[in-house]
Each structure stands twice: as C-alpha cells, then as structure tokens.
Amino acid sequence: MLDDRKIKVLYAVIDSYLISAEPIGSRTLSKQYNLGVSSATIRNEMSDLEELGYLNKPHTSAGRVPSDKAYRLYVNEILKKEKIKIDIEKKEEIKRILTKESKEIDQLIQNAARILSAITKYTSIAISPQLKKIKLKHIQLIPIDDMEILMVIVSDTGIVKNTILRVKQNIPADQLNTISNFLNIKLKGLTFDEIGKTMGDVIFKEMYEFKEVIDSIIPLINQSLKDMDNVEVYADGVTKIFDFPEYKDIDKAKAFISFIEDKEQIANLLLDNSLQNGLEITIGEENIYDPLKDCSLITATYKLDGKTIGKIGVVGPTRMDYITAIKALRLFSINLTEILEMFSR
C-alpha cells in the first residue's frame, strides 16, 4: 500500500510522461508540480517507487517512466472518480451524426469505429452484432426469375440481410408466399440460433405438401442464417500508431499494423470472455498477444434488449490518455445501444 506522498509523486510522473513521452526526473517534477517537498525528497520517493515496481529506469536516461503496474493503479483510481462522467452534449452530437449517416447496422458499427478513432486519436476496432442473440421479425421469399429467389430476412433490429437463393426448379410465387407466411408464423420471435436448431423438422412435418420445394429451400435458408453469424471486424486509424514516439521503430509499428489488419485475430480478441459485459481495460503485459504487449486496449460492449451483442474499443501505447479514451468508450457504448433500440422499433 502506497502512502499519499508516493501516490502524488507517482501520479505526477504518469501525468508528465503522458504528455512528454520522455523519462521524468525529480527536478522536472519539482518544477512542474507543487508536491510540497524538495527535489531530493522526490528523488528518494521515485527510487522507492522503482523498487516497488511502479517505475522503470531506461538504460539511456537518468529519468524514470511508469510501469504497467503503475498504469493499472492509475486506471483503477480513474474509474472511481466523478470526472469520468460522459459529456451529455457531446454524446447527443455524436448520436445525431451516427443516426444520420447509418441506415443499416453494419454501417452504424463501421461509422462508430471511424468517429471513435477521430475523437481519441487512437486506432479503433469493433465487431458487428452477434446475430445468434437477435430475434427474427419477418422473412419473405420473393421470386426473381425461374431459378432465383430473393430472401429478405428482417430482424428486430431492422433489415439484416438480403440473399439470393439459387434453386433447381421454378417455384410459383403463390407457393413462395404460402411458405413465407408459414415461416413467419412458426419462427417470428425466435433467435437465429433457435431457428437453426428447430426449423428443418418443423417445416418438413407441417408442410409435407410442399416437400420438394421445402427440400430445396430449407438447406439454403439454413446456410444463409449461418453466414449471417459470421463476424465482421472493423478497424480505423490503424496508421495513427506512427504518431507516437514509442513506434518510431518501423518493425515494431509493422508488427502492430499486421496484427490489427488480421481480422480473425481481432475477432478472437474482442470475442474473448464471450462478450463480457461493461468496460474492459488491459494494459501492456496483461495483453495475451505479443504485438499488444506495449499497448493498452480499452473496450466497451453494446447491447440490444439488455443482451450484449458486440464490442467496440481503442488501442494505443500504454502511455494513453485513459480519461479521454474511457469517456469516449462509455459514450459510444451508450449511443450504440440506444440507436440499436431505435432500429428495432
């Protein structure tokens, strides 16, 4: 447990380092902060903090820099403070922009990632909603020509997907309409996960007169539902990493960019802990992936009907403006949830 003076010195080092990206010495702290003690006392406190693992001393400098342990203490304290409350006026402004520019869900998430990166100046990442948790509102089969059918699937969040089904025989429009009506009666209000598990048996048993038609359509519908559950990953501001002196090393920057551009890895990263609720912050060595060992990742979830269905986040050096990033993530989490609820009405 650190005493008050050590905490004040540590936070002064962190605040100064966040701005300068240069190792901090006791003389700098004495000039910049009114800590109420001499430069020599500050130097002794910094030495103690180093021994306790809160500060590191780069080989090429007499100054010190915060460790991951220091940032963790700092972030945990930030999360307790009132100043982390979101700016309501800014929230509403961003909500208006997102609502105006986004007509579909995927477009909404992509736009959110773009605006989040612009606000925070960090790389943003996000995943599309996980549709297994979303419910079917309507399904319609519409003939296009003799061998093609347009399937329109509408969820309780709006139109999710339009898919062209290629069939082996001509299916009259009246039969497609009858099948559509039956599917809506049986499947409306079920999650896509529930539909995939129950649809085949139910339809075959109760619509035997359309056995040949059903036999050709149901596998196509099932495959479309599986395709809808594929995770879409969005990233923005990837090259912003070059703006930070920590990434002047080109090889280090390339490794970071290569990781962010690997959609499968980002999906695994964001889906870790099965879309755990709330705000999550991993700092430096807490990250399991090597390219992120010098980074901090802050993510927030967004919901529909009280269920967590996706994540959005920012990633940057551990020398991150945590307050700005946390405020922004909370803001976007609330906005995305509210807009998705609007879409579902």
In the chain, which stretches have pLDDT less than 70?
82-83, 132-133, 157-160, 196-205, 208, 225-229, 273-277, 344-345
What tokens were used for 19?
């701005």
**Residue 74 domain-assigned?**
no
Residue 248 sits in the same domain as residue 313? yes
**Residue 72 domain-assigned?**
no
Pairwise CA distance, residues 183 & 203, whole Å: 8
The CATH number covering residue 238 comes to 3.30.450.40
Residue 125 sits in the same domain as residue 136? no
Residue 159 sits in the same domain as residue 268? no
Residue 295 is part of which domain span? 86-130+231-343
Residue 329 sits in the same domain as residue 251? yes
Phi, psi of 237 (to 5 degrees): 70, 30
The CATH number covering residue 156 comes to 3.30.390.60
The CATH number covering residue 40 comes to 1.10.10.10
Read off the pLDDT of residues 49-102 as tens digits, 9 standing for 90 and up.
999 999 999 877 779 999 999 999 999 998 887 567 788 999 999 999 999 998
Residue 125 sits in the same domain as residue 235? yes
pLDDT value, residue 214: 73
Pairwise CA distance, residues 298 & 303, whole Å: 17
pLDDT value, residue 345: 67
- What is this structure's pTM? 0.81
Residue 105 sits in the same domain as residue 176? no
**Residue 76 domain-assigned?**
no
Number of CB atoms found within 10 A of residue 37's CB: 16
Q: What total of structural domains would you count in the chain?
A: 3
pLDDT value, residue 252: 93
